[in-house]
Amino acid sequence: MSLLCEVFPPGAGMVRTVATPPCAAASTDQAVLLEILRRDVALALWLRPEPAGWRRMTAPLLAAAPFRAACEDAPEAAVDGVLAALGQPVPVALAADMTRLAAMFAAISGHDRVRVRLDGVVHDSCRHFHIDAIGLRLLCTYRGEGTQWTLCGPDCRAPHQAPACAVALLKGTRHATPAPAGCLHRSPPVSRLPEDKRARILLCIDEPGVFA
């Protein structure tokens, strides 16, 4: 395990902040997601690679943005509900990944039901650094600019950015054991980009009943 203060490079193995709280953990090993169960960890980031051919496969869905589809149910049923609400073809690999992540989230959060949402975003969504008023949240940007996060406060000018297909688990203010405040995140500011580069496909998975 490598130990660094706040900043770490992708692919460097398991890395955790060691200065004052809050803490973030990141690794290319999916087991890093379990670090979110630690009291002092506010963010767990699984730095997995983008699959071969992913951009070609997801291009039609990206072109369909903006859109939003959501469903709350058992993991597989919730994903099926999202796919039905979309009303357009979704790559089998993407649907399978959504189901896998929903099942993983359910196991880690301890809930039988989850709320799954798939968004096609074309604007600056949540542009300010913040902590969500939820318990636990999973974010995965399948295409486009990834979620930005920082341990440096709301005025950070050089935030970290999760790469495409990376999986982030974040504690919110309603978590049973909230991590110390200070690990903030936001949607990437895409309005600065050329119009044809702004679209994002974002998967969001929440605990049932309470979300923001």
Residue-wise pLDDT for 103-151, tens only, equals 999 999 999 999 999 999 887 666 777 678 888 999 999 999 888 888 8
Q: Which residue has the higher pLDDT, 44 or 148?
A: 44
Predicted confidence (pLDDT) at residue 2 exceeds the cutoff of 60: no
Q: What is the DSSP string of 60-116?
A: HHHHT-SEEEEEEESHHHHHHHHHHHH-S---HHHHHHHHHHHHHHHHHHT-S-EEE
Query: Where does the pLDDT of residue 11 fall: very low under 50, low under 70, confident under 90, or very high at 90 and above?
Result: very low
The rounded distance, in Å, linking the Cα atoms of 79 and 60 is: 19
Helix (H) or strand (E) holding 169: strand 167-171
Predicted confidence (pLDDT) at residue 73 exceeds the cutoff of 90: yes
| Choice among 12-26, 45-59, 101-115, 155-169 with the minimum mean pLDDT | 12-26
Q: What average pLDDT does this structure show over 75-89?
A: 96
Helix (H) or strand (E) holding 29: none
Per-residue confidence (pLDDT) for residue 196, from 0 to 100: 66
